Amino acid sequence: MIKKDFKYREIPYNYTSFSDREIILRYFDDETADIIESLRSQRVTGRSAKLLFEIYGDLFIIDRNPYIFNDYLEDFRKQRRLKRLHRARLDIIIKGANGNPLVLKLVE
C-alpha cells in the first residue's frame, strides 16, 4: 500500500489558512480529529471520507459566510434539505463502515 501525504486539504470550501484538523477542532474535540487521522491509513476507496469531509465543509462554509448563514437561518426548507442530505451521507458512511468501531464512533 502506498503511503499518502495528507498535508493537502480534503475539506471542501476551505479557502483559508486553516488545516483540516483546525476546522475539525472548531466543531469537534481532539478525539474526533485523532480518529479521523487514524482512519486515513485504513482507507480503501475514500468514499466515506469524502462524504464526511463534505459534511464538515458544509458546516464550515455556513459558519464562515454570513450571507449563507443568514440564508439558511431564514429558509427552513434549505435547512431541511441540508439535514436530509447529511443524514443520507451519514447512512452511506455507516453502511460502508462494516462495523468499524472508529467510524461508528464518528457518526454516533
What own/partner pairs with CB < 8 Å and gap ≥ 24 does 63-66 have? Answer: 63/26, 63/27, 64/16
pLDDT score, position 16: 87
Mean local confidence (pLDDT), 83-88:
98
In sequence order, which residues have a C-beta less than 8 Å from that of residue 26 and are 6 or more positions away?
18, 60, 63
Kindly report the average pLDDT of the chain as a whole number: 91
Q: Tell me the pLDDT band of 2, cut-offs 50, 70 and 90.
A: very low
What residue spans define the domains of the chain?
20-107
Contact between residue 13 and residue 61 where contact means Cβ atoms under 8 Å apart: yes
